[in-house]
Amino acid sequence: MQIHELLAILRTRWRIIVATILVVVSVAAAITLRTPPTYEAYTRVYLSAQGDEGSVNLYQMPSAELSTILEVAQSPVVLTPVREQLGLAPGEILSVRAAAETGTPLIDINVSARSPQAASDVATAVAQKLAEVSPEFSQMLASSGGEVRAQTIVAASPPGSPVSPNVSRNLALALLAGLFLGIGFALLRHNLDTRVRTAKDLAEMSGKPVLATIPIRKGADTSRVFMESDPFSPHAEAIRRLRTNLMFVDVTTRKHSFLVTSPMPSEGKTTTAVNLAIAMADAGTKVLLVDADLRNPSVARTMGLEGSVGLTTVLLGRASLDDMLVQWGHGELFVLPAGEIPPNPSELLGSEAMRDLFAELAQRFDFVLVDTPPVLPVTDAMVVDTLTGGSLMVVAANRTKKRHVAEAIKAFENAGAKLAGMALNMAPLESVAYYGYYRQDGSTVGGSPDDEASQLMLEATRPRAAARSRSRR
Ligand SMILES: Nc1ncnc2c1ncn2[C@@H]1O[C@H](COP(=O)(O)OP(=O)(O)O)[C@@H](O)[C@H]1O
Ligand SMILES: [Mg+2]
């Protein structure tokens, strides 16, 4: 993974990171607040015996005896009488540590306790008590015959602040831990992500070109025929880009027809097909949009047309094609609605009658676009694919599962169908703007490939248009 990919993941998943930091820091804060404070006091004493036989101090003591003395300082032999003497509760003294400064006759005593005063008092008392009991544990001190005294070098004093909990350190550590944990969660979430997010995702997993990234429409942009209602929107720009790219594919198929499908329902097949058809007609092409989604026909509804008769009516032979074609707008866009919903859509679409009809449509129009049902639930799209020059698969960003795209592509391959490319629909606007498909002010870009598209469109279909007008003559 490259650094910019990592940053992109962290940017899209910043909420997980912030949430993890908040949780870890709050837990740490709660634990810190609930931790009773600990105070530490320290004293340093000079332990010596002044007797008839001369003076003895730790400096001369054999190391085994010295360790015993230090051990005794931390043991109940000293602590029990100290606790009784100071009248402390059993939990008040937390720990006592005694250590001899190497190379000196000095003993350091560290005491942790629940209160500053107790810590200081215990340190002082332990030193005195240790002096009292030490002859019992040191032959050398005993042999001096004199009294053992602990002279104070550093007096214990009640500490001003607790040594634990350390609030700022705990919170800083929690912040750091939360950050790393959050990044870990974000990466895990990214790896477990099963939905198609970006055009790059789609291109990598499908192995097909992504011919367009169509932004998501939100709130006020409710019109589904945005090619007409909002022709300079980023959405319209994306559709024009799709038109351009399809023209390049059309150069290789020379069939001048495509179908629009998707792995699952409601990914934007109809919306894309309708707007693409309008864009093609805008470029001066005589376009026919056929609604071959005989399971959930919605082209007519989307375009505000009467849809009770259409394709199935012609296939049944109940009406002539000419009577069923509906002209839309002022250009050369014609629509063949689905008509009545039949019980056997796949068979109907695969019938001889459909093949003949399509051959006629291909003769009469410069370009034929077909809206079909989704690939995974039914085979209709693959059946129609045999009639057209290729298929365009629309995939909804952040919704469609990668698994479904893979299955749909597999179904296409198994059927020997020709998948020309993919279109990522409902993409976040930023991801589309990133590719520079449109300007922030919504204006079209002069000299853009979209102008070339119109040109290409005209050139691709001109011989046919010319042939048509010749045959009319
Ligand atoms: N780019 C988009 N942004 C937001 N909503 C969209 C977009 N494309 C399609 N939709 C909405 O998604 C729903 C399904 O779209 P439709 O084109 O009918 O899908 P399909 O034909 O694949 O079932 C519709 O309500 C449509 O308005
Ligand atoms: Mg539809």
Q: What is the per-residue pLDDT across 225-235, written as a single tens digit (0 to 9) for each?
A: 999 999 999 99
| Residue of the CA atom closest to atom 14 of ligand 1 | 266
Identify the pLDDT of residue 202.
94
CB 58 within 8 Å of CB 70 = no
Residue 310 has pLDDT above 50, yes or no: yes
Residue 443 has pLDDT above 50, yes or no: no
Identify the pLDDT of residue 464.
53
Q: Say how many Å lie between the CA of residue 222 and the centre of ligand 1.
A: 10
Q: Which atom of ligand 1 is nearest to the CA of 272?
A: 17
Percent of the chain with pLDDT over 90: 71
**Three-class DSSP category at 294:** coil
Identify the pLDDT of residue 325.
96
CATH number of 39-154: 3.30.70.1130
- Pocket test of ligand 1: the residue of 218, 224, 293, 303 to mutate, having most ligand atoms within 8 Å of its CB, is 224
Q: Residue 448 — pLDDT band, cuts 50, 70, 90?
A: very low
Residue 104 has pLDDT above 90, yes or no: no
> Closest by alpha carbon to 314, among 284, 287, 294?
294
Identify the pLDDT of residue 447.
37
Question: How confident is the model over 317-344, as a mean pLDDT?
Answer: 95
Q: Dihedral through CA 439, CA 443, CA 444, CA 447, nearest 10?
A: -80
Identify the pLDDT of residue 53.
65
**Looking at 367-463, which runs of residues are DSSP E strands?**
367-371, 391-396, 419-427
Identify the pLDDT of residue 33.
93
Residue 358 has pLDDT above 80, yes or no: yes
Q: Residue 365 — pLDDT band, cuts 50, 70, 90?
A: very high
Residue 26 has pLDDT above 90, yes or no: yes
Identify the pLDDT of residue 147.
86
Q: Say how many Å lie between the CA of residue 252 and the centre of ligand 1.
A: 29
Question: How confident is the model over 365-391, as a mean pLDDT?
Answer: 96
User: Could you tell me the fold of the domain covering 199-472?
Assistant: Rossmann fold (3.40.50)
Identify the pLDDT of residue 457.
52
Identify the pLDDT of residue 459.
53
CB 364 within 8 Å of CB 471 = no
Q: Say how many Å lie between the CA of residue 203 and the centre of ligand 1.
A: 21
Q: Which residues, 6+ apart, have CB-to-CB distance to 128 below 8 Å?
A: 150
Question: How confident is the model over 39-56, as a mean pLDDT?
Answer: 85
Identify the pLDDT of residue 440.
43
What's the CA gap between 391 and 371, in Å, rounded?
10
What's the CA gap between 116 and 40, in Å, rounded?
7
Q: Map out the domains of the chain as residue ranges.
A: 3-35+165-192, 39-154, 199-472
Identify the pLDDT of residue 284.
92
Identify the pLDDT of residue 120.
96
Q: Say how many Å lie between the CA of residue 199 and the centre of ligand 1.
A: 18
Q: Which atom of ligand 1 is nearest to the CA of 298?
A: 18
Lowest mean pLDDT segment, chosen from 92-106, 344-358, 441-455, 458-472: 441-455
Q: Residue 221 — pLDDT band, cuts 50, 70, 90?
A: low
Q: Which atom of ligand 1 is nearest to the CA of 216?
A: 3
> Closest by alpha carbon to 349, among 360, 359, 358, 340?
358
Identify the pLDDT of residue 449.
45
Tokens of 433: 């703007």
Which ligand places an atom closest to the C-alpha of 234?
1
Tokens of 456: 């290409």
Identify the pLDDT of residue 460.
52
Residue 190 has pLDDT above 70, yes or no: yes
Residue 59 has pLDDT above 80, yes or no: no
Q: Say how many Å lie between the CA of residue 265 and the centre of ligand 1.
A: 9
For 140-169, the pLDDT digits (tens) are 888 877 888 899 999 999 999 999 899 999
Peptide bond into 165 cis (omega under 30): yes
Tokens of 73: 């300082």
Residue 223 has pLDDT above 60, yes or no: yes
What is the average pLDDT value for the chain, to the nearest integer? 88
Q: Which atom of ligand 1 is nearest to the CA of 262?
A: 22
Which ligand places an atom closest to the C-alpha of 214?
1
- Contacts made by residues 77-86, CB under 8 angstroms, sequence distance 24+: 77/133, 78/126, 78/129, 78/130, 78/133, 79/126, 81/129, 82/122, 82/125, 82/126, 82/129, 85/125, 85/129, 86/118, 86/121, 86/122, 86/125
Identify the pLDDT of residue 469.
46
Q: Say how many Å lie between the CA of residue 400 and the centre of ligand 1.
A: 13
Ion ligand 2, residues whose Cβ is below 5 A away? 269-270, 298
Q: Which atom of ligand 1 is nearest to the CA of 264?
A: 22
For 399-442, the pLDDT digits (tens) are 999 999 999 999 999 999 999 999 999 999 877 654 444 444 43
Q: Say how many Å lie between the CA of residue 348 and the centre of ligand 1.
A: 26
The residues lining ligand 1, judged by C-beta closer than 6 Å to any ligand atom, are: 214, 216-217, 224, 262, 265-271, 298, 425-426
